[in-house]
């Protein structure tokens, strides 16, 4: 692999497009291959072993296409497979997203931080370690939202059903209104506006996409792998689903304002 090779970016489905957007904004000269594993989405309620094998398959596919680095743009896949994949491919720069708990806690000292993520992300050791590091600085509430990625996978970013789904979960907070909300799943930024509205636009919302893009740039720079071209980079869209609409929806999600 060389500096002009593409970057591989993967997610269980469309969610990682929220990370891809930050990557292309920060690194406009890079060529990107985005692989959405929509056929197997959602990953979030699967076992760790299943998530590992699905993620490893996608990474192998990206490696066959000659990528110089892989971004795991899926918190669930990062938690269940990031460490093992780094052991399997020690030479490959692997950048794995994680919930943006650190900036949320730093900006809400002594406050209440709600972490929205998949069941798998919230049960894995990676999140337990992160929580251990920050739990004394704020009250941290974990909330899995199984079913939310499916709304995004069908392009339903605002609807009465979506609002009802979210309200049903947020009701369990009672009087414990959060000061900050962490979107710990890359699908969730696509419904950020609705989440914000349901908290009367009074919460600060954090996600790990921009931090992941910056981490990617650091890793490529340190290995002399930044593409030296001055031409605009390209995006190649891949999806495991047989439904051709998925690529169309991917392009739409890439373009819309979130
Ligand atoms: N986009 C994935 C994440 O960031 C999860 C969605 C799923 O359950 O597949 O965790």
Question: Ligand 1 centre and the CA of 9: distance in Å?
Answer: 14
Test site for ligand 1: of 41, 145, 206, most ligand atoms within 8 A of the Cβ: 41
- Judged against a pLDDT cut of 90, whether residue 186 lies above it is answered with yes
d(CA 209, CA 126): 17
Assign 3-state DSSP to the chain and report helix, strand, coil percentages, each to 5.
Answer: 45, 15, 35
Residue-wise pLDDT for 212-249, tens only, equals: 999 999 999 999 999 999 999 999 999 999 998 999 99
pLDDT grade, residue 1 (50/70/90)?
confident
Yes or no: say if 254 and 17 are a contact pair by the CB < 8 Å rule.
yes
Q: Hey, what are 1's tokens?
A: 């692999």
Residue-wise pLDDT for 41-83, tens only, equals: 999 999 999 999 999 999 999 999 999 999 999 999 999 999 9
Asked if residue 12 has its Cβ within 6 Å of ligand 1, the reply is yes
Of the candidates 74, 94, 105, 209, the residue annotated as catalytic is 74
d(CA 117, CA 76): 8
- Judged against a pLDDT cut of 90, whether residue 257 lies above it is answered with no
Q: What is the mean pLDDT of residues 153-174?
A: 97
CB within 8 Å of 110: residues ≥ 6 apart: 137, 138
Atom number, ligand 1, closest to the C-alpha of residue 121: 10
Residue-wise pLDDT for 130-139, tens only, equals: 999 999 999 9
Determine the pLDDT at residue 34.
98
- Judged against a pLDDT cut of 90, whether residue 192 lies above it is answered with yes
Determine the pLDDT at residue 162.
98
Q: Which domains does the chain have, with CATH numbers?
A: 7-97+209-255 (3.40.50.1860), 101-207 (3.40.50.1860)
Using the 8-state DSSP alphabet, how is residue 111 labeled?
Answer: S
- Judged against a pLDDT cut of 90, whether residue 155 lies above it is answered with yes
Give the closest residue (by CA) to ligand 1 atom 7.
42
State how far the alpha carbon of 85 is from the alpha carbons of 11, 79, 89, 120, 146, in Å: 15, 11, 6, 17, 25
Yes or no: say if 210 and 189 are a contact pair by the CB < 8 Å rule.
no
* DSSP annotation string for 75-106: HHHHHHHHHHHHHH-TTS-EEE----HHHHHH
Yes or no: say if 233 and 227 are a contact pair by the CB < 8 Å rule.
yes
Please report, to the nearest 10 degrees, the dihedral formed by the alpha carbons of residues 81, 84, 86, 88 taken in order: -120
d(CA 124, CA 84): 13
d(CA 208, CA 97): 6
- Looking at every residue in the chain, the average pLDDT score rounds to 97
Yes or no: say if 31 and 6 are a contact pair by the CB < 8 Å rule.
yes
């Amino acid at each position: 692999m060389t500096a002009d090779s593409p970057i591989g970016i993967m997610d269980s489905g469309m969610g990682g497009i929220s990370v891809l957007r930050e990557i292309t904004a920060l690194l406009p000269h890079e060529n990107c291959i985005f692989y959405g594993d929509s056929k197997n989405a959602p990953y979030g309620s699967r076992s760790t072993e299943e998530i590992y094998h699905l993620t490893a398959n996608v990474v192998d596919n990206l490696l066959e296409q000659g990528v110089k680095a892989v971004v795991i743009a899926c918190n669930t896949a990062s938690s269940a497979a990031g460490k093992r994949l780094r052991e399997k491919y020690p030479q490959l720069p692997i950048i794995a997203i994680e919930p943006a708990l650190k900036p949320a806690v730093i900006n809400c000292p002594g406050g209440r931080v709600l972490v929205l993520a998949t069941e798998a992300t919230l049960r894995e050791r990676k999140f337990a370690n992160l929580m251990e590091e920050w739990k004394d600085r704020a009250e941290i509430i974990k909330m899995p939202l199984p079913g939310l990625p499916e709304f995004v996978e069908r392009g339903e970013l605002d609807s009465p059903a979506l609002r009802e789904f979210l309200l049903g979960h947020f009701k369990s907070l009672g009087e414990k209104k959060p000061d900050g909300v962490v979107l710990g799943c890359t699908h969730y930024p696509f419904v950020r506006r609705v989440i914000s509205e349901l908290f009367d636009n009074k919460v600060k919302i954090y996600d790990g996409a921009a931090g992941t893009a910056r981490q990617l740039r650091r890793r490529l720079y340190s290995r002399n792998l930044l593409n030296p071209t001055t031409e605009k980079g390209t995006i190649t869209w891949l999806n495991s689903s047989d439904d051709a609409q998925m690529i169309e929806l991917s392009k739409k999600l890439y373009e819309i304002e979130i």
